[in-house]
Amino acid sequence: MQAHYELLEKLSQKIPGIIFQFRFTPSGRMYCPFISEHVEDILEVSSKQMQDDASIMYQRIHPQDKQDFHNSILVSQELMIDWKIDFRVVLPKKGERWLRGFSTPERLDDGSTLWYGNALDVTEEKLFEQKLRAEHHLLSQFMENSSISISIKDLDGIYKFINHSWEEITGLASECVLGKKDDQIFSPKIVENFTQNDASVLQNGESLHLEVTLQSNKQLRYFEVIKFVLRDIDGVINGLCTNLTDITDRKLAQEKVVHNERRLQSIIDATNVGTWEWNIQTGEIIFNEKWANMLGYALEELQPTTVKTWDRFVHPDDFETLTHTLQSHLNGHVQHYFAECRMKHKKGHWIWVADRGMVSQWDEDGKPLLMHGIQQDITQKKFEEQELLDAREKAQKANEAKSSFLANMSHEIRTPMNAILGLSELLEDTTLDARQQEYLANVQASSKMLLGVLNDILDFSKIEAEKVQIEKTPLYFTSFVSNIQAMFAKSGAKNGVTFKINCDKELPQIVLADELRLSQILSNFLSNAFKFTIQGSVQLDIKLLSTYEQKAKIFFAVTDTGIGMTENEQERIFKPFEQADSSTTRRFGGTGLGLSIAKHLVAAMGGSLHVSTQKGVGSTFGFEIELEVVQEDKQLRHLHEHQQIKADMDLHGLEVLLFEDNSINQKVTKAMLERQGVRVAIADNGMEGVALYRKDPQKYDCILMDIHMPIMGGYEAASAIREINKTVPIIALSASASKEDKTEALHVGMNEYLIKPISSKKMYEIIYRFCKNMQHSTQENQLEKPHKLQDAKANINDKHLDIVFDGDIVLYHKLLKQFLTQLQNEFKDICKTIKEDLSEARTLIHTLKGVSGNLGATRLSLICIHIDALYKEGKTIDSQSNAELQDAINALIAHLNSLKLDTIHEQKILSDTKLFQRLDALKKYMQDAELLEPQVQNDILATLENRVDAKLLSEWDKALNALDYAKAIEIMEHWKIKE
């Protein structure tokens, strides 16, 4: 027995896999009486462990295979059948492996079951099977989903496979085809054709290519057919494969190309143009017969044709321009090549041709290979263009002569008219009897009428010369409407005609518009409305139609209950020098130019004029235009309105460096500044100015920079200044009003842009804003030394109330209260926004810098300036700066809460000096028909309460509230106030 056991042991070592006996007792014990030593290699378990307890093998079985493995043993035990199974094990070292087990059971006397068998590692076989299945699946997917129709037959012609594309083309499902032959599926004619082709391929063993036409889905379609044999692994033919590719689109495209070529040739023949095709690499050019005929030649006379054939006909004066234009296209700078040039005719004269072309083929390196084009004789067109240019030049000279005449006449007429009007105004202050007063009134009315006629003629002359320019400046609707109201408040009073203005509440507060021209249009409409309305009403409506992004479409309409017009009269009113009928001029006066001018101005603003009228009922003149909306900062608006009332702006003591090369401009600008107490240093060019500034950067509060200067221009000089100091105000001076120049100025670091001729008032306002309101000099020094920010302890500058707000504590506290609300709302999370580096952080800090500076919040303003400068330099905002910003905000909020901003009285008593300054400024403000700040009115009322007759003061107050500024000024003349 021992000998047999040793022999079995030796055999098991020679046989691959595991040889085993496996015993399963009724008590549930599992062990292996015998198991070969290969078990340690295959299961990573020793034979000794398996002989003691075979259940350890269960720990190696893959979790997903354990149940199947256990069930297979139970079935084999129950039915006493062979045990066969493939299963996976997970080994500590080898990982996942596949095993195949086979054994035969035997029932023992004690009820145990003993299996004799073996187990092999079949991992490689399983992996190969998986790979084969994956490849087979991939191949099946490819064949099934291929756009090419595929069918496979065996040698007997029986279909074994068809894909989905084949089903779609033939309209036959696989169950109707597989297992059948062609004669069981198709008509005899088709079967005959298929059979011949199949036999040819099978006989020769070579593929067959042909095109066929088939009816597919009730449409005639073209197919490319490829038939080839299939061979087994030994190269023996065992089947036939047929591929069908739908080439209908390609065939139709080819037919379309042929059709287009014929059509193009017909067009070329019809247009009588010459064509050329240039091989850029070889220089060869192919011309058509028309090209040669255009120059008086037959094409045979010019052979062989190259690029030099072309060159020898071009006029010498046009050759350089032609070559440059062509090279720009070849380099890819312009999409199409187009040039006009002169070419020499066979008879010796020159003809004009228009030459057009485009590169049609490029090589892999992007170099042009082939170019196509046409040439057309435009000699007659050139002749006609020259005639038009000559006629236009003559007309332009005549127009300029007319404009010059009108300008001279304007000067000659206005000079005596100004004297007449001025003397008439003085004459009103003298003692006149009733008849003299009537004569004087007629003189004034006639003079103003004559000036109106002159203005209309000059405006119409500008329109004819196309010299009317529409400006875009901020227009405040409240102020604009107030001015219109003041201008026409008395127009209908004599006849009892009422005047009303209806404004949409949703109108934007500020838009970019040409206020002068818009006022001119509405004034014309309103003047006509009052002129032709005997009784009833005149109404101005301003409505917001729609908004889109930063645009607002606004409708203006003037409606009256006047005489109205017929359709024929309506057609005439917009023609120059015409009115509704010939009696209108005699009865009402006027040139007949006003509506024509208004129509052109509305068109220049991008709108169109609409008229609705009925004879004897009235008329409506309306138009709609699109305007850009300007976002308003409420604090800056209040500051703007308040500062306009100030008698002047104190610029005394400021140091300004003026960059200007023109000596006259130097003197004019210097004189404007010096009369305001400003000290001016002058540089003749940019280089000289930069050198002057570099010597003492702290000396100058502001720089005025001309854009165009010799040696170094304004843009370069501004960039050089910004390298020295990033915050000193630089104000550009330029005769150009283009948006591009302004954008470039701001891009290089300039702060503002003044257009020549310079408005002294505008220049003073800008310098005041940057150097006084913003307290620039102090901030500049602080900014250059950020560590000194901690030295600014004051939350609010005590002197700011007097310096900027002229002591008006009511307005100041009102703005501070609004600022407190902003700090607690829109600026609440500004530090968090900065810390998280969100995109809106820079905008918020820039806004907070401006508002805090305007209101004298010194500490907060300085830290905002510091952080804003870091943003401009592209630096990261450090945590210390962010913490200082939060501390400054918290301190300012606490300080503003402590001021009890709601307890200030609404009126204050002005000193005599302030009172007379305010009254002078107020009178000028009313003369300009500007909307008044209510607080100013209240302060004056409170101050004059015991110094002016109460009745006069009350009438003055009512006149102001009714916007009757003329009456208010008249009442002020009767006040008896001594300074």
> What type of residue sits at position 207?
S
For the chain, the 3-state helix, strand and coil shares in percent, each to the nearest 5, are 50, 20, 30
| Residue 149 pLDDT greater than 90, yes or no | no
Planar angle of CA 278, 283, 289, nearest 5 degrees: 45
pLDDT at 102: 94
Percent of the chain with pLDDT over 70: 77
| Interatomic CA distance for residues 166 and 185, integer angstroms | 14
Q: Is 969 exposed, middle or buried (CB count within 10 Å of its CB: 0-12, 13-18, 19+)?
A: middle
How far is residue 910's CA from residue 913's CA, in Å, rounded to a whole number?
8
Q: Give the predicted TM-score (pTM) of the model.
A: 0.32
Across the beta sheet with 208-216, the strand order is: 159-162, 149-153, 237-246, 219-231, 208-216
Instruction: Name which residue leads in pLDDT, 957 or 345.
Output: 345
- Integer Cα distance of 329 and 359 in angstroms: 8
User: 542: pLDDT confidence band, cut at 50, 70 and 90?
Assistant: very high
CB 530 within 8 A of CB 538: yes
The residues, any chain, with a CB within 8 Å of residue 749's CB and separated by 6 or more, are 718, 719, 721, 722, 726, 730
User: What are 226-262's pLDDT values in tens digits?
Assistant: 899 888 888 888 899 988 888 888 888 888 877 777 7
Scanning 497-626, the segments in alpha helix (DSSP H) are: 515-531, 567-572, 582-588, 594-604
Contact 818, 635 (CB under 8 A): yes
Rounded distance between C-alpha atoms, residue 478 and residue 510, angstroms: 9
Inform me whether the pLDDT recorded for 892 exceeds 70: yes
For 1-35, the pLDDT digits (tens) are 555 556 556 665 667 789 999 999 998 899 999 89
Q: What per-residue string of b and e applies to 336-353 under the rule 16 or more CB within 10 Å gives b?
A: ebebbbbbebeeeeebbb
Average of per-residue pLDDT across 700-715: 89
- For the cut 60, the answer to whether the pLDDT of residue 978 exceeds it is no
Query: What average pLDDT does range 401-424 have in this prediction?
Result: 56
Q: What is the DSSP string of 857-876?
A: -HHHHHHHHHHHHHHHTTPP
> Is the model's pLDDT at 445 over the cut of 80?
no
At 494, the pLDDT band (50, 70, 90 cuts) reads low
In a 3-state reduction of DSSP, which class is residue 662? coil
Q: Which long-range contacts (CB under 8 A, 24 or more apart) does 268-277 make?
A: 268/374, 271/376, 273/374, 273/375, 273/376, 274/374, 274/375, 274/376, 275/372, 275/373, 275/374, 275/375, 276/310, 276/357, 276/372, 276/373, 276/374, 276/375, 277/370, 277/371, 277/372
Look at phi and psi of residue 89 and say left if phi exceeds 0, alpha if psi is from -120 to 50, else beta: beta
Of 48-52, 237-241, 471-475, 886-890, minimum mean pLDDT range: 471-475
- What is the residue-averaged pLDDT of the chain? 79
At 114, is the secondary structure helix, strand, or coil? strand
Maximum mean pLDDT: which of 302-306, 338-342, 920-924: 338-342
Q: Spell out where 530-678 has E strands.
A: 537-548, 551-560, 608-614, 618-629, 655-659
Does the pLDDT at position 754 exceed 60?
Answer: yes
pLDDT greater than 70 at residue 784: no
**Residue 778: predicted pLDDT:** 39
Q: Using the structure block, give the residue that is written with the tokens 């020295």.
A: 724
Cα-only R_g, the chain: 49
Q: Which residues contact 104 (CB under 8 A, 6 or more apart)?
A: 82, 83, 115, 116, 117
More confident residue, 812 or 958: 958
Whether pLDDT at 658 is above 90: yes
> What's the CA dihedral at 566, 568, 571, 573 to 10 degrees?
-60
At residue 68, the pLDDT reads: 92
pLDDT in tens, 266-302: 766 666 788 888 998 888 888 888 888 888 998 888 8
H helix or E strand, kind and range, residue 274: strand 274-279
Predicted confidence at residue 83, as pLDDT, reads: 94
Report the amino acid identity of residue 436: Q
Kind and range of the H or E element at 284?
none
Phi, psi of 767 (to 5 degrees): -65, -40
Tokens linked to 897: 């809460």
For 369-394, the DSSP string reads: EEEEEEEEE-HHHHHHHHHHHHHHHH
Residue 516 CA to residue 453 CA, distance in Å, equals 18
Higher pLDDT, 101 or 462: 101
* 352 pLDDT above the threshold of 90: yes
Distance CA 657, CA 681 (A): 5
* Residue found by looking up tokens 């009007």 in the block: 421
Per-residue pLDDT at 113 = 94
How confident is the model at residue 114, as a pLDDT?
A: 94
What is the structure's pLDDT at 453? 61
pLDDT at 932 over 50: yes
C-alpha span between 519 and 486 (Å, rounded):
12
Of 879, 895, 934, 866, the residue nearest 798 (C-alpha): 895
CA distance 639 to 805: 8
Q: Note whether 115 and 103 are within 8 A (CB).
A: yes
Task: Indicate if the pLDDT at residue 582 is higher than 60.
Answer: no
- With beta carbons less than 8 A apart as the criterion, state whether 323 and 372 touch: no
Please determine, for residue 556, whether its predicted confidence score (pLDDT) is greater than 90. yes
Residue 571 has pLDDT above 50, yes or no: yes
Q: Which amino acid is at 516?
A: L
Per the CB < 8 A criterion, the answer to whether 359 and 368 are in contact is yes
- Residue 339's φ and ψ, nearest 5 degrees, are -155, 155
Contacts of 99 (CB under 8 A, 6+ apart): 42, 86, 87, 88, 89, 119, 120, 121, 122
State the Cα–Cα distance between residues 538 and 534, nearest whole angstrom.
11
The confidence score (pLDDT) of residue 838 equals 81
Parallel, antiparallel, or unpaired for β 95-107 and 83-91?
antiparallel
Confidence of residue 788 (pLDDT cuts 50, 70, 90): very low
Q: What is the pLDDT of residue 97?
A: 93
Per-residue pLDDT reduced to its tens digit, 830-875: 898 888 888 788 878 877 876 787 677 888 888 988 888 888 778 8
pLDDT of residue 414: 53
**What pLDDT is attached to residue 402?**
65
Residue 151's Cβ-side half-sphere holds a number of Cα atoms within 13 Å equal to 27
